[in-house]
Each structure stands twice: as C-alpha cells, then as structure tokens.
Structure 1
Amino acid sequence: MGKSIGKWAVQLTDAEREQLQKQTRAQSASALAVKRARILLLCDQNQADGGKTDDEVAAQIGMTRRQVQRIRTKFAQEGLETTLRREVRSDRGTARVLDGRAEARLVALCCGTPPEGRQQWTMQLLADELCRLKVVTHVCAETVRQTLKKNQLKPWLTRRFCIPEADRARFVSQMEEVLDVYHEPRDAAHPLICMDEASKQIVADTVAALPMTPGQPRREDPHYERKDVQAIFAFFDPVRGWRRMSVRRTRTRQDWAEEIRRLLDEDYPAAQQVTLVCDNLNTHNIASLYATFAASEAHRLARKLRLARKLRLVHTPRSGSWLNMAEMELSVLTRQCIGRRFENAEAMTEEMAKWEANRNESGLGAHWRFTTADARITFRKLYPVECDIER
C-alpha cells in the first residue's frame, strides 16, 4: 500500500502535533489513547518525510493495517478530540436482563433436578423455565450461558468421584491402618501382599482389524462377538516385585478360599506371617474357608490363620479401594495386556502369563509414599475430631 494520501490523509497543525506529543508522554493517559496519538503522529503528512505508510505504522505500533486505516479516517472525518476519546456504548445504562434475584433463581434451578424425562439442564431449558416461572419476561440461551459461566456452573458435566462412606470415623481408622501397614518393615518371613479382583469380558472381532500404517492408526470394527466373562484374582507383592494373576470362571467365596490356600501353601510356604491387604467384599473372610473345604482342611488353614498367625487380613475402607496397590497392578495389566480383543479365554490367559513372567523377571514393585501424616492433611475434613497436624 502507498502513503496515506487522499481525502482521509492526516495533516496535523503545530498545535495538534504538540498536543499529541504531550499525550504520548502523559502518565495518566490510557494505553489506547497513547496508541492513537502515536499513529496520528506517524501518519502526519506535514512531516519532512511525508509520513509513514499504514503498513509501516501497523508494524511499529503492533496493530493491524485495518485498525490504522480506521483511526486515520476517524481523524479526517471527526477531528482530533473525537479520535482520542474512547467511545461510549449506546446501550450503556440499560437494565440487566437477569438482576441479582433472577440470577440467584437461575443458579438454584441449575443446581436442582432437571425436568422429568430430561437427563440434564440445557441452556434453552433453563431460559424457558425462567420465563415459565415468570422470573423474567424473556431471556435468551446465550445470556443464561454467560451467567452460568460467571458462576462456574456446568450442568452438562458429571464427574466420577469416590464419595467416602457416611461413617467417617470407620473410614479414617481403616485408612490409617492400611497406611501404617504399608510403612512397616518387611522381610522374606513377613511379606506384604495386596489382593484384588476384577471381571473381564472377552470379546472377539467379527471383521479382521486393519493394521496400522504410516498416517493411519490401527482400525477395528465397532461390532464384536461376546465370547466369555472371566474373573481375575490379582496378588501383588510391592516389596519383592512379584505378582500372580489367576483366571477363574467365577469369583465366589470358594474361589477366594482356593486362591488363599495356594498363596499360603505354594507361593509363600516358608513365611511366618503374610499380611494381606484386600477390600471389604463379603467373601474376603475366614468363613469362606469353612464354606469351601472339608472340616479337617478348613481347620488346618484356620490354625495357620489364628494360632500361627500365618495370615493377617487388612481391609481397605469402603469407597477406599484406591488404597489397594493391587488395583494399580490390575490397571497396568489392563493397559499393557488385556485391554484388547481375544478369540477365547485361553488366548487371554496365555498372554497374561507372558506379561506376568516378564514383570516378575524385571522385579517391578511399588514404593508407597503417602503416609498417615499426609492423610491427616489431605483428608482433614473427613476426620470427625480435628487432629493435630504433624509438621
């Protein structure tokens, strides 16, 4: 673009140029007024070099060429004072559509139950409801959206959150018991085992998946064939870096008892005491042994459990399964191995065995760093009685 010539050219008088120069140095002037003053000074054709082009001014000021053109045109049409003055909106002073009372009613509606047959509130539903209740005569969905944004409300969002049980005292007592167990000294005679269960639905492809190629990820058809459902019992020793994943048809108390016998008699026969951390499932107790084995066998295991203290059961609190390190190991198993489709249960079990052997060979354990002192800070609101914070 050429120089600023024509009927919208900027030609400043000496008085205007002096006023603009004072404007650029004034500390009380707004940033917008200073920018406009600098633009007019740079575009002034009465300078010795005839002024700069719009492109040059825009690059020097940090604005667009179109903005420079508008300011130059405004000066030529309306004069200096109007150009430097900030424009006042024509609707300034207009009453708000949603005043404080209406806004409070909107917030209450959004936090309440949506209409029957609707899963959640929408912007239009809220606008219509405000009109139906005669809170306002009219309001648009965009006004509702802006008001909800100001109040940090998102009616379309539901977040999964682990809500502690109502008996907070029991929750914190069991949580601290698990945390204390995790930080007790361990050796080969007193291992720590974390145990958890999961169900896995086995599905197979109905159409062969397309392999990954450069520029294209692996693609699989959304349709699948349901093959089976298997129960996975996970036993994890975070100190030793050992784990065992057992696959069974069911997850009854008999299955749990069989897995415990295998843990005591085969996996840790020389251990003096095995500390087992598990959740509060109704099958995870001594009674499951008597419901599974003959009286003599159940009594033998019970003697180990009670007299020789072969096994020490530690339960995580309700809604506190995140405290079980075996749950983390199941998550790794899902992400690294079984989070895919299999033709049958045997194929999945074979892949799990390879994954298990590889991780056991590498000795991949876990180091739990969250302590009881940390819990009393993080979960201080869950404690029925205010506790002293250890610094």
Structure 2
Amino acid sequence: MAQDETGEKKYVVRLSGEERAQLESMLSKDKHSAKTLVKAWILRKADVSEAGEGMSDGEIIEQLEASVSMVYRVRKQLVEEGFDAVLTRKQRSRPAVPRIFDGEKEAKLIALSCSAPPEGYARWSLRLLERKVVELAIVDAASDSTIGRVLKNILQPHRKEQWVIPPHADAAFVAAMEDVLEVYRRPHDPLLPVVCLDEATKQLMKETRPPMSMQPGQPQRVDCEYERNGTASIFMIFAPLEGKREAIVTERHTAIDYAHALEHVADVMFPQATKIVLVQDNLNTHKSASLYQAFAPEKARRLTERFEWHHTPKHGSWLDMAESELSVLSSQCLARRIRDIESLRAEVAAWVADRNTHQAKADWQFTTADARIKLKSLYGLPRSKRLNHATS
C-alpha cells in the first residue's frame, strides 16, 4: 500500500473486511449496472486499509478511465452517507412526472404524423404537430421537444445554414454589410416598414406513376422516374418586424417580373407607407432601372421614390432575411414534386397564409458589434486597432 497523500485527503476511503468481501462478491458476479460497478472498483482501489490497494486519485482515473468528479463524489458519499449509500441507487425524492402522451395519446400522435400534412406544407414539422395536437384536443399542451422525444426517429427535422464569406479584407463587403445591419437595428415604424426581397427557382415535376401513400411502419413511396414540366420563380417579400410576407409565383425571372413585385409591395402591401426600406441582394435586375423597363417614366419615378434602397454585399446574401424565409418555404413546402405552376401557386399561398396568421417573425441577433469581432479579418486592420474598433 502506497498512499502518500492520505493525510491530505478530506474524504479517505478505509473499508472493513466485511465491506471488502461485499465488493469482491459484486465484482465477481458482474450483475450490477455499469455505474455501480465503477463505484465499486473506485472504492476497492482507493481503500487505504492494510488489505487495500491505496491508490491515488490519479492512478484510479488512469486505470478506470473515470472522471475526477466521480472519484471525488464516491469518496465524499462514503464518508458522509456510508458504504451502502454509494452502491445503492438513490430513490426519487419526488414522484416521477406523469407522461403527457400515454399509450392512446401516443398512438394518436404517431397516426397524425403519418397523415397528410396541412395544405401548403410538404411534411409535418415538430412545431406543426405541437399546434395540431392541441387543436385536436389530444393533449392540453405539449412542447415540440416533448413531441420530438416521443416520435424519436419518426420525424427528423434538420436545419442547415450555409454562409459564403470572403476570406480576406474587403472594404466594399464591410460597407454594405454594416449598412444592412444598421437597417435591422431600426425600431419598428409602420410608416417606414423594413422589407426584404429575394427570389428562388422551383423545378416543376410530374409524377409518371401515382405515389404509394404512407402506412404505419412504411414511408411514402415515390417512383424514381418523373417528368420535367418547366420551372417557376418565386419572389419572397418579407417584412420581418410585421411578421408579414407575400410570395409571388411567376413563370419567368426577369427585370419586368421584379418591377411588378416592387409595385405589389408599394401599392398593395404598404400603400400608406411614406417610405419603404428595401433590403435585397446584388442581382443585376435589383435596380431602379428595372422599373423604367416595365412602366412609363412617371410611374417608374413614383415607385423609385417610394423605396429606400439597400443592397447586401457580394457573397453576403445571407444578410437578406428574405433568403432565410425562402429556406423555410423550401423545407416546409417545396421539398417535394409539384406538377405545375397552378399547384405551386396554391401550395405557396396556403403556406404564406398560415405563416401570416401566426405572425411568424424574424429575431435577428447579428449586429455590427458582432461583425467587427467575429468577422474581423474582413476589416483588414491590425489586431490592436481591430480590438479598439470593436469596442468603440
């Protein structure tokens, strides 16, 4: 036995012969939980009695691959609560919380998740299920995390973010980025609404054979063969502070289509606004010149002056909140085969109506101060100046 640090230990393990015999019996039978067996090994190796091994904490941790805190807790529990307390599972001080989803309610939840999703959605999400189980009075209340635990691998919502950021100093990027970030800091003003605009393309595909619907224990089966049926463009117009969006589906993606989208923003969505703060990416059609291609000069000038123009930097379209809204649309509604533009318009309209009904807003957290720290390589300043710049 070699334990130089025995006197320094606050919690010293010293076992009796009966306790050592009980440990040997436990370790030879191997009928206990892994955690209990690890505790038994810790006691055996830490025992400083004449028959014990008297190992230091470091030696125990190295041999058993246990954590420092676990070795400490075993020592402390032995001294304060006794030998049996270390090796006996602690009883609950309070009764277990009753399950929200019992057998019958769980079956209803699974059946609901296997049913067709609401119009405008390609699949059930945890948040949709959370809302629906309350509407159908399956349960009084449930969080999406609870539903996720119940369904386990049945639903697997994934979130993916992809950013493209220049790796070196770029003054033009920084200037445009800080301009947009300062726009997002403005307080809500109904007469000066902030509107983000972005576009996406959806390929239309017809089924060549009818899909086989989802059944319990069997996912929906879709034939690998399909028929191309053209493409359509979607203009996403998102007012993040109002929790309001419009999605205009067009056959093409031209300057004329863009001009008509701006006309919709100015004359239909926000006719009372004195000025509309417009945030968009740097696409070549995203200019006031597109208005002059589509309308008479008088109307083009009127619409141009209705907007306060702000552009995200090149490779910085992630700063446009409409792009995030398009990502949600893509995952919730468009991630399936849609046969024609009429069906696409109907599905997108249903999705937009549901999002607007629940006033889904954007909680933008990235600020100019964050950018000056996290993206400091873009500023091209020496480290000392960057730090001073970030705290100014």
For 1:383, give the aligned amino acid: Y
User: What runs of 5+ residues in structure 2 fail to find an aligned partner?
Assistant: 6-20, 39-160
Equivalent residue, structure 1, for 2:390: 389
Q: 1:235, 1:245 within 8 Å by CA — same for their partners in 2? A: yes
Q: 2:169, 2:377 within 8 Å by CA — same for their partners in 1? A: no
Q: 2:202, 2:234 within 8 Å by CA — same for their partners in 1? A: yes
Equivalent residue, structure 1, for 2:368: 372
Of 185, 192, 195, 2:194 maps to 192
Equivalent residue, structure 1, for 2:300: 301
Q: 2:168, 2:377 within 8 Å by CA — same for their partners in 1? A: no
Equivalent residue, structure 2, for 1:119: none
CA separation of 1:62 and 1:283: change in aligned 2, threshold 3 A: same
Deviations 1:68-118 (A, max 9, x none): xxxxxxxxxxxxxxxxxxxxxxxxxxxxxxxxxxxxxxxxxxxxxxxxxxx
Q: Percent identity?
A: 39
Partner secondary structure for residue 348 of structure 1: helix
Of 264, 267, 291, 1:265 maps to 267
Equivalent residue, structure 1, for 2:219: 217
Counterparts of residues 40-59 of structure 1 (less than 5 Å) = 56=28
Q: CA-atom RMSD, angstroms? A: 3.0
Q: 1:200, 1:231 within 8 Å by CA — same for their partners in 2? A: yes
For 2:234, give the aligned amino acid: I
Deviation of the 1:53 alpha carbon: 8.9
CA separation of 1:53 and 1:364: change in aligned 2, threshold 3 A: closer
Distance 1:62 1:208 in 2: 57
Deviations 1:138-187 (A, max 9, x none): xxxxxxxxxxxxxxxxxxxxx97614176611111111100000011231
Deviation of the 1:321 alpha carbon: 0.8
Q: Does 1:353 align with 2:372?
A: no
Distance 2:372 2:320 in 1: 18
Greater RCO between the two (CA within 8 Å, min separation 6)? Answer: 2
Partner secondary structure for residue 291 of structure 1: helix
Partner secondary structure for residue 389 of structure 1: helix
Q: 1:337, 1:352 within 8 Å by CA — same for their partners in 2? A: yes
Equivalent residue, structure 2, for 1:207: 209
For 2:362, give the aligned amino acid: A
Deviation of the 1:27 alpha carbon: 6.0
Equivalent residue, structure 1, for 2:50: none
CA separation of 1:62 and 1:226: change in aligned 2, threshold 3 A: same
Q: 2:266, 2:303 within 8 Å by CA — same for their partners in 1? A: no
CA separation of 1:389 and 1:59: change in aligned 2, threshold 3 A: same
Deviation of the 1:274 alpha carbon: 0.2
Q: 2:204, 2:340 within 8 Å by CA — same for their partners in 1? A: yes
Distance 2:354 2:37 in 1: 59
Deviation of the 1:204 alpha carbon: 2.4
Equivalent residue, structure 2, for 1:146: none
Q: Does 1:170 align with 2:172?
A: yes
Distance 1:378 1:167 in 2: 13
For 2:28, give the aligned amino acid: E
CA separation of 1:364 and 1:207: change in aligned 2, threshold 3 A: same
Deviation of the 1:355 alpha carbon: 1.1
Larger radius of gyration: 1
Q: 1:165, 1:318 within 8 Å by CA — same for their partners in 2? A: no
Distance 2:379 2:361 in 1: 31
For 1:330, give the aligned amino acid: L
Deviation of the 1:367 alpha carbon: 2.1
Partner secondary structure for residue 391 of structure 2: coil
CA separation of 1:218 and 1:54: change in aligned 2, threshold 3 A: same
Q: Does 1:344 align with 2:340?
A: yes
Q: 2:167, 2:378 within 8 Å by CA — same for their partners in 1? A: no
Distance 1:215 1:360 in 2: 34
Equivalent residue, structure 2, for 1:314: 310
Distance 2:266 2:343 in 1: 28
Deviations 1:5-48 (A, max 9, x none): xxxxxxxxxxxxxxxxx4xx4569xxxxxxxxxxxxxxxxxxxx
Q: 1:165, 1:319 within 8 Å by CA — same for their partners in 2? A: no
For 2:377, give the aligned amino acid: K
For 2:170, give the aligned amino acid: R
Counterparts of residues 38-77 of structure 1 (less than 5 Å) = 56=28
Distance 1:54 1:182 in 2: 64
For 2:338, give the aligned amino acid: F
Partner secondary structure for residue 245 of structure 1: strand
- Paired residues in the alignment total 249
